Amino acid sequence: MESALTARDRVGVQDFVLLENYNSEAAFIENLRRRFKENLIYTYIGSVLVSVNPYKELEIYSKQQMERYRGVSFYEISPHIYSVSDNTYRAMKTSRKDQCILISGESGAGKTEASKKILLYYAVTCPTNDRMAALGDRLLQSNPVLEAFGNAKTLRNDNSSRFGKYMDVQFDFRGVPVGGHILNYLLEKSRVVHQNPGERNFHIFYQLLNGGDEMLLKTLYLEKNPHNYNYLAKGNCPRVSSINDKNDWKVVMKALSVIGFTEEEKLLSIISGVLHLGNIQFGEGEEGETYITTETQILLGVDGSALTEALTHKKLTAKGEEVMISPLNFEQAMSARDALAKAVYGRTFNWLVEKINQSLALKSSSVIGLLDIYGFEVLQHNSFEQFCINYCNEKLQQLFIELTLRSEQEEYETEGIAWETVQYFDNKIICDLIEEKHKGIISILDEECLRPGETGDLSFLEKLEDTLGGHPHFVTHKLANGKTRRVMSREEFRLLHYAGEVNYNVKGFVDKNNDLLNRNLKEVMCQSDNQILSHCFHREEVMDQKRPEMAATQFKNSLMKLMEILMSKEPSYVRCIKPNDAKQPGRFDEVLVRHQVKYLGLMENLRVRRAGFAYRRHFEAFLQRYKPLCPETWPNWHGRLADGVSTLINHLGYKPEEYKLGRSKIFIRFPKTLFTTEDALEAKKPEIGKYACSGSETLGLIVIQSGWRGMKARRRAKRRREAAELIRRFIKGFIYRHNEYGPENDYFLDHVRYSFLKNLRKNLPENVLDKRWPTPPPLVTEASEYLRMLHMRNMVMKYCRRVQPEWKKQMVQKVVASEIFKDQKDSYPESVGRLFLDTRVGISLSSLRDGMFVVHMPTEDNKQKTDVVLQSNHVIELVTKLAMMAALIFTVTLCVACSIRFAVARGKEGIIDFVRGSEMKVAKGKRGHLLVVSHHLGKKAK
């Protein structure tokens, strides 16, 4: 990093602590702007990395760049996300203490991309083997899956994470990544049923419609046009220029297979089911009762009539017992439908995270946590979601300042330097305002949701005013002065966050906090044939009479657990900044950046860091860099490092107030002191070059050169001896290759085995029909056959796991056909490639007491007589056995209309009429139909 200090006039300083005017926000932003214009998007504040989204591809993320930062100390090279990644990794290995990287910033600032870069760095640079490489792939491939189901296009960002994510990357004692685990927070479920104009629902819906093939969409009863679905039409934004839904669909499907996911059909049925739910429309009867007016496929694996009943009626309970069923009005039915859609999608998302965790799970000794979570949000209309998001950022800011102060104080104490008290804004007062028991905003909201009688958003606002009136960080229209009232609605309350003022509209707070499904809707979903949904909706949940926690309280509790996790780890920080709202490269909006600098707490962090000293380095690093500036330390210092540094700075004329010497580091208070030293080094470099080439130094250079050449020659001679010995062993082994394994041939025979296995690894059969296998040397024939058998068994097992139930049924039929007809029937080979369709055979019979039945055998050739009309005195037994033998139970049709149509020659149709009469007979009727008269007993036999 010091190597770029001389370019500070052009590109600014690489560490904000070196700003002369560190209290000036304008100087801070100017330094950011200057570096951004030079495509230098990373800058430090001490150990904190500030990242500005460039909105374009930069050539700074190659594998060569990764190697450049690998194993390099933090300040030895320019700021980069790879530097934070590598230093965190090495700190975990050396200290054996868990680490975490906290990534924050507003939507569109590049948080998710930063998280991807860190994961990619570990996947490429960490030691690994084939098994761990596969696990690394699963770790990386979890990103596109989570983005598809948890990200959406918003007004600020085309790929906005609408949930918070904390991921633990797990390492073994050698530093090999061996697993992972993901925690997700506050998925924005309301987006499933409503989007603002210009925004979209979650990506997966559009990916399915644009990327799914015609057969899949037909199976799911879907059409490609998003406007046909109410849950996708509200934002009126089916296409986005920066998003290719069709390609993203392929990426997600591939990612699911890499993760080991085998339940795509059930998952996609749920996604389509949510879209169909949104298209359910309701009508209202004369007495206010609600009924469904549309016919639509739901595909949630539930009984249609039961779902209809649950969407239009509500079960009421008293004292734990069900007492009556109450019809829902139109608004309640619409709310019930939307609540079901949100619950189905939200629980499916949690299930998906759980499945990813199962694919990544493995025991580990250390972890590096990655927190990619929503940044502080101030929108034109701020609702319940923004309230939760900003509360989360208050807690993270509190943690950030606390941990930053603590780490600074610990470093000073370790070095034996007195700590000076730092003045900063403690936002605990705001956190307490939101989360305090009994009198915090969340507690008041819960109380309003639980109290009997008429509850609502406005009564919640009134209770806030009664309880929190007079709090310095809480304002409403009623409590505000005249000037503030003019810009505040009567339905809003204002919180004075650490990052600025935010007005929250209370509309929807109570409903979103309740976030409850009607009990009868839960009962219906518990009985779903879809295994994912039956897993997500537990039967115990229906039986449990205890009311679940409210949404805000659940979020608060999960946030507390997250804080505990982060407090137990050594933190590193990445602060992401969005340079403009238009997503344009090269554009730097100072007003927007200033706002983010404020709410990310960057100036406060800088003040904490600069409270004592701007620059600190280990004695060795400082002495090594600046030793040419003092005759006593150049070219080498042979005493104690602390004495060498003391000698050097005395020669440079440092004043006592400019520096302090710790136990292992020098602390320089003012950047100007460091810059003066750096400028002196630049001026000294030409003189150092001349000195190195003159007088006795020339002799020294010759000695060094000769010593180096001698060492290289000795190394070369050693390699030649080892190569000659290796060749001798190989030749001798070849000569004795047919002898028993021993000292003469062990190397050669081991090499033959190794070469065969290496070749085999590259040429393994890829599927069960691939019969190729490398010819083995004689000494490994037996092992080769055994490996061949194991590999074939493994391929068969993998193939069987992927076989869907419908295809399995088809294969069973093909095997039975082979056993009966192979080599016995000339037409058999033609049937092998054709699917056996259940629709080719059907049985019809009347509901009367006759023995007639029709076997339908449809064919494409209309000239053939396709259907067979039969009569039997044991028709029930015969049809039952036929149906069971052919698995056609569900194709038996009982005709209650007293007539059966059947196919006859040349595409014509025959009709059998069934009537009751005094005696049993079969005859030709007057209309040319076949008439079957069934004996009429008069009374049913008992």
Read off the amino acid at residue 414: T
Distance CA 137, CA 132 (A): 9
Q: Which of 2, 199, 377, 435 is catalytic?
A: 377
Distances (CA, A) of 460 to 465, 484, 490, 491: 9, 21, 13, 10
How far from the centroid of its chain's Cα atoms is residue 435's Cα?
28
Distance CA 190, CA 41 (A): 35
552 is known to lie in a ligand binding site: no
Q: Which of 157, 159, 520, 647 is catalytic?
A: 157
Cβ contacts of 350 within 8 Å, gap of 6 or more: 184, 187, 536
Q: Which of 112, 201, 514, 605 is catalytic?
A: 112
DSSP 695-724: THHHHHHHHHHHHHHHHHHHHHHHHHHHHH
489 is known to lie in a ligand binding site: no
Distance CA 264, CA 75 (A): 47
Decide if 377 is catalytic.
yes
Decide if 112 is catalytic.
yes
Nearest residue to 370 (alpha-carbon basis) of 169, 178, 557, 123: 169
Q: Which of 51, 85, 87, 107 is catalytic?
A: 107
Distance CA 867, CA 843 (A): 10
Decide if 766 is catalytic.
no
Indicate left, alpha or beta for 2 from its phi (over 0: left) and psi (-120 to 50: alpha). Answer: alpha
Cβ contacts of 925 within 8 Å, gap of 6 or more: 913, 931
How far from the centroid of its chain's Cα atoms is residue 122's Cα?
17
112 is known to lie in a ligand binding site: yes
Distance CA 495, CA 48 (A): 28
Decide if 161 is catalytic.
yes
Decide if 83 is catalytic.
no
235 is known to lie in a ligand binding site: no
| Beta strand extents in 246-288 (DSSP E only) | 282-284
Q: Hey, CA dihedral for 583, 587, 589, 595, is it positive or negative?
A: positive
Tokens 């039997």 found at: 872
Cβ contacts of 706 within 8 Å, gap of 6 or more: none
Q: Which of 128, 160, 269, 605 is catalytic?
A: 160
106 is known to lie in a ligand binding site: yes
Residue 451 phi, psi (nearest 5): -70, 145
On whether the CB atoms of residues 442 and 435 are closer than 8 A, the answer is yes
Residue 338 phi, psi (nearest 5): -65, -40
350-354: long-range contacts (C-beta < 8 A, 24 or more apart)?
Answer: 350/184, 350/187, 350/536, 351/532, 351/535, 351/536, 352/145, 352/146, 352/149, 352/267, 353/146, 353/182, 353/184
Nearest residue to 875 (alpha-carbon basis) of 894, 899, 903, 858: 894
107 is known to lie in a ligand binding site: yes
Distance CA 880, CA 888 (A): 9
DSSP 356-388: HHHHH----SEEEEEEE-PPP---SSB-HHHHH
Helix 384-415 × helix 428-435 angle, to 10°: 140
Distance CA 226, CA 235 (A): 11
Residue 132 phi, psi (nearest 5): -70, -30
Decide if 257 is catalytic.
no
Decide if 375 is catalytic.
yes
DSSP 453-489: S---HHHHHHHHHHHHTT-TTEEETTTS-HHHHTTS-
Nearest residue to 364 (alpha-carbon basis) of 536, 201, 171, 525: 171
- Rounded to a whole number of angstroms, the CA Rg of the chain reads 38
| Token code pair at residue 796 | 């068969």
On whether the CB atoms of residues 560 and 396 are closer than 8 A, the answer is no
Q: Which of 150, 235, 375, 440 is catalytic?
A: 375
Q: What residues form DSSP beta bridges with 912?
A: 900, 930
**694 DSSP assignment:** S
Nearest residue to 646 (alpha-carbon basis) of 673, 627, 628: 627
| Token code pair at residue 552 | 């805000």
Read off the amino acid at residue 277: L
Q: Which of 46, 51, 53, 108 is catalytic?
A: 108
Distance CA 792, CA 786 (A): 10
Instruction: Please state the residue numbers annotated as binding site for ATP.
Output: 105-112
Give the residue numbers annotated as catalytic, written as ranges: 107-108, 112, 157, 160-161, 375, 377
Instruction: Please state the residue numbers annotated as binding site.
Output: 105-112
